[in-house]
């Protein structure tokens, strides 16, 4: 499983296409292409453009591999042999073979590898003073949160804005998610050598696991944060305003994008999923987008016919004509007096159904 996953991943990634260069491009051509694309898509220059952030990550990944002569050679060999359905001669799943091609070596080169690559170019391009040969933690989307609320019958029909108090896991307020005591200096995690993951062997296969020492943050501190004890996380309570659309049904789930848990390392927030419960009404019922009401009529009114007043929800009563000879429990429909619903076409008004009870003594 792990071996096939690795083949499907790298065999289908065309790093040359990502940088827009030919497969026989020179090292200088690859470097120029990377510089151009990195400048145009860097997160510091495009703080609110998630698409450019994604492009920047792909460009950096591509240059980290084919911008290094040794990695490029291994990548080209891997792609060539994978296209033919097999691994290079001497390929070793669990460790380096004599003169063979080792997947673990390739992964380690990408994670905490040698000179050149993304770390050097980052400092050259933007002068940010980042430590050489180390990537920052990857942006991670926040968790989706769930909440529930109960609305009165009429508010569910008309729509409303509610306040929700949420408690969720968030970056620690003391250490800002680093896990280190404020004022102490970080250093590269010695366990994963700054990669954020370790390569673990499982029954002859190898796969990546989050580094247990740094939790994937790539850095460790000599002194842990006294608030979160090094986890980088803590509980956060906040109150948000949520718009519930008109016509919501009992048990319906409303997804509010970006209202969930906070992302990490610049990642987007998760979503909030609100389950709505709708209370009952003493007079009206509901059937889909229709309101229902049972109206008693006398035997004479049902037999001879009559005009009766029907109450509506939040409006003036309407007159309903009962034809002569109306049987018990017959259903009548009054158009346009049911559930309005946000976004519903004006040419398709909701409906209000009325059911009579001929002879009912009420």
DSSP string, 339-359: ---TT--TTS--EEEEEEEET
pLDDT of residue 349: 36
Least confident of 22-26, 139-143, 268-272: 139-143
- Which residue, among 303, 287, 281, has the nearest Cα to 339 in the 3D structure? 287
Tell me the pTM.
Answer: 0.46
Number of structural domains found in the chain:
3
Whether residue 100 sits in one domain with residue 41: yes
Kindly tell me the sign of the dihedral angle through the C-alpha atoms of 97, 101, 106, 109.
positive
* CATH, residue 261: 2.60.260.20
Q: Do 267 and 148 have their domain in common?
A: yes
- 297 close to 308: Cβ distance less than 8 angstroms: yes
Residues 157, 43, single domain; the answer is: no
Domain shared by 33 and 158, yes or no: no
Find the mean pLDDT for residues 148-160.
91
Residues 12 and 60 in one domain: yes
Provide the pairing of β-strand 290-297 with 318-322.
unpaired
Q: Is 131 or 61 the better-scoring residue by pLDDT?
A: 61
Q: Are residues 47 and 103 in the same domain?
A: yes
In a domain, 217, yes or no: no
Indicate if 31 and 156 belong to the same structural domain.
no
The most confident of the ranges 38-47, 136-145, 194-203 is 38-47
Position 190 in a domain: no
Backbone angles phi, psi at 360, to 5 degrees: -65, 130
Instruction: Please state the rounded mean pLDDT for residues 235-250.
Output: 87
Average pLDDT for 1-30: 73
Residue 86 located in a structural domain? yes
Structure tokens at 82: 């994978």
**Residue 196 in domain:** no
Q: Is residue 118, in this structure, part of any structural domain at all?
A: yes
pLDDT (tens digit per residue) in 74-125? 888 877 766 554 444 444 444 433 334 444 454 444 443 444 444 344 333 4
Q: Is residue 204 part of a domain?
A: no
- Taking a C-beta distance cutoff of 8 angstroms, is the pair 307, 319 a contact? yes
Together in a domain, 289 and 276: no
Domain that holds residue 248: 139-169+235-280
Say whether pLDDT at 345 is over 50.
no
Q: How confident is the model at residue 236 (pLDDT cuts 50, 70, 90)?
A: confident
Residue 9: its pLDDT value, please? 52
Q: 162 and 101, same structural domain?
A: no
65 falls within a domain? yes
For residue 26, name the pLDDT band (cuts at 50, 70, 90).
very high
Per DSSP, what are the bridge partners of residue 239? 165
What proportion of the chain, given as a percentage, has pLDDT over 70? 72
User: Within this chain, do residues 290 and 276 fall inside the same structural domain, yes or no?
Assistant: no
* DSSP code at position 187: E
Q: Mean pLDDT, the chain, as a whole number?
A: 75
pLDDT over 90 (residue 277): yes
Does some domain include residue 294?
yes
Q: Are 29 and 16 in contact (CB under 8 A)?
A: no
Are both 71 and 106 inside the same structural domain?
yes
Q: Residue-wise over 41-54: b if at least 16 C-beta within 10 A, else e?
A: bbeeeeeeeeebbe
Q: Could you count the other beta carbons within 10 Å of the beta carbon of residue 180?
A: 24
Q: Evaluate if residue 136 carries a pLDDT over 70.
A: no
């Amino acid at each position: 499983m792990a071996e096939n996953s690795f083949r499907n991943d790298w065999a289908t990634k065309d790093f040359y296409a990502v940088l827009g260069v030919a497969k026989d491009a020179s090292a200088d051509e690859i470097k120029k292409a990377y510089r151009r694309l990195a400048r145009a898509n860097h997160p510091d220059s495009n703080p609110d453009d998630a698409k450019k952030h994604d492009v920047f990550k792909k460009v950096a990944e591509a240059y980290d591999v084919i911008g290094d002569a040794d990695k490029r050679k291994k990548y080209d060999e891997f792609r060539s042999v994978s296209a033919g359905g097999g691994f290079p001669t001497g390929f070793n799943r669990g460790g380096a073979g004599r003169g063979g091609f080792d997947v673990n070596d390739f992964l380690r080169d990408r994670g905490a590898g040698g000179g050149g690559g993304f770390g050097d170019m980052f400092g050259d391009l933007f002068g940010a003073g980042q430590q050489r040969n180390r990537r920052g933690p990857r942006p991670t989307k926040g968790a989706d949160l769930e909440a529930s609320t109960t609305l009165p019958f009429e508010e569910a029909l008309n729509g409303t804005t509610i306040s929700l108090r949420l408690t969720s896991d968030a970056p620690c307020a003391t250490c800002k998610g680093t896990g280190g005591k404020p004022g102490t200096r970080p250093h590269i995690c010695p366990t994963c050598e700054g990669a954020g993951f370790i390569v673990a062997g499982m029954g002859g296969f190898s796969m990546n696991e989050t580094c247990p020492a740094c939790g994937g943050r790539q850095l460790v501190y000599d002194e842990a944060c006294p608030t979160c004890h090094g986890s980088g996380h803590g509980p956060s309570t906040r109150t948000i305003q949520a718009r519930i659309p008109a016509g919501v049904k009992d048990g319906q789930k409303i997804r509010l994008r970006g209202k969930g848990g906070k992302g990490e390392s610049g990642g987007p927030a998760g979503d909030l999923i609100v389950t709505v419960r709708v209370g009952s009404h003493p007079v009206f019922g509901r059937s889909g987008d229709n309101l229902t009401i049972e109206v008693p009529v006398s035997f004479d009114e049902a037999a001879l016919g009559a005009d009766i007043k029907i109450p509506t929800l939040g409006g003036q009563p309407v007159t309903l004509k009962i034809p002569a000879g109306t049987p018990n429990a017959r259903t009548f429909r009054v158009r346009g007096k049911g559930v309005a619903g946000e976004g519903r076409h004006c040419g398709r008004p909701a409906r209000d159904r009325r059911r009579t009870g001929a002879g009912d003594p009420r």
